Structure 1
Amino acid sequence: MKNLDPISHVITANVHTVSIDQKLSTVRKMMAENQIHHVPVVNDRKLVGLISATDMLKLNIASAKTNTKLLDELIDQQYTIEQVMQKNLVTINIRDSMRKAAHILSNGLFHSLPVIDDDRNLIGIITSTDLIRYLAKSY
């Protein structure tokens, strides 16, 4: 793997997103149906936050026996997307290298980086899994 390869080689460009005015249950459904762990929150195309599966688990309102309709009602009654999303995000620019992405993700504090352009428009997302898959293909 060339450590200066652009992250455009590995990002997920067609990212599932939500806006602040949507219901939090939308995020839960999106994660479950698409087997994803990170959902960027956008205003138009501008990145304003991110909700991870860990953020959803911290809500601590679900039990294994709760049906999803009841769970979604509880989530939407108690929380909004804005309350749950992470706002102070570490991001990476589309022109940055995989080396930079690997360096940031290697600290282990989080497992995804929203990829933005110079105007803070969301371009995609890169995860630690994306980097590992790229590395596996390279060897």
Structure 2
Amino acid sequence: MSRGEMALRDIMVTELLTVFEDETMQRPALFFKEFPFHHLPVLNRDVHLVGMLSSTDLAQISSGFSLFEMQDRAQYDDAIFQSTLVKDVMSKQIFSMHPQQTIAEAYDQFRQGTFRAIPIVDGDQVVGLVTPLDIIEALLNS
């Protein structure tokens, strides 16, 4: 088997944090602050994948960088996060793959530049996540 034929199930991250589309941005903001993740799968209440949320999405609604000091930045961000729903910020255009698909297939998708993380779905359950870094690490370690 060539390295490109390696299955996604062998390289995917399986310890996932997920969020619900109808919750506020408070919990995702905490996740991005506390954990080294840059992407969160978004689920509906039936636990089906409906979108992806990235740390970039969060940055776009926060007070962000300013040349001027903003003393109330944390309070401002907290107010925004409390009043904004995940579904209003997430990427609704999602692409998923199956655990048995190969890293070569995932690479082809990443090469197109549309996605930075691909949720791995088995049936209707999110079972993992793959990023370009996961592919690089798998190739270097094989």
Say whether residues 1:71 and 2:77 are aligned partners: yes
Cα distance, 1:60 vs structure 2: 4.8
Match of 2:51 in 1: 49
Cα distance, 1:69 vs structure 2: 4.8
Q: C-alpha deviations, 1:64-99, integer Å up to 9, x for none? A: 75554542222222x210101111201111121111
Query: How is 1:56-135 mapped onto 2 (pairs within 5 angstroms)?
Result: 56-63=58-65, 65=70, 66-77=72-83, 79-117=84-122, 119-135=123-139
Larger-gyration structure (1/2): 2
Q: 1:99 aligns to what SS in structure 2?
A: helix
Q: Report the residue type matching 1:129 in the other structure.
A: L
Cα distance, 1:13 vs structure 2: 0.8
Say whether residues 1:10 and 2:15 are aligned partners: no
Cα distance, 1:2 vs structure 2: 1.6
Distance in 2 between residues matched to 1:121 and 1:102, nearest whole Å: 22
Distance in 1 between residues matched to 2:30 and 2:120, nearest whole Å: 23
Contact 2:4/2:103, CA 8 A, preserved across alignment: yes
Cα distance, 1:58 vs structure 2: 2.2
Which runs of 5 or more residues in structure 2 are unaligned? none
Say whether residues 1:29 and 2:30 are aligned partners: yes
Which runs of 5 or more residues in structure 1 are unaligned? none
Query: What's the TM-score, normalizing by structure 2?
Result: 0.85
Q: 1:114 aligns to what SS in structure 2?
A: strand
Identity over aligned residues, as a percent?
23
Contact 2:63/2:73, CA 8 A, preserved across alignment: no
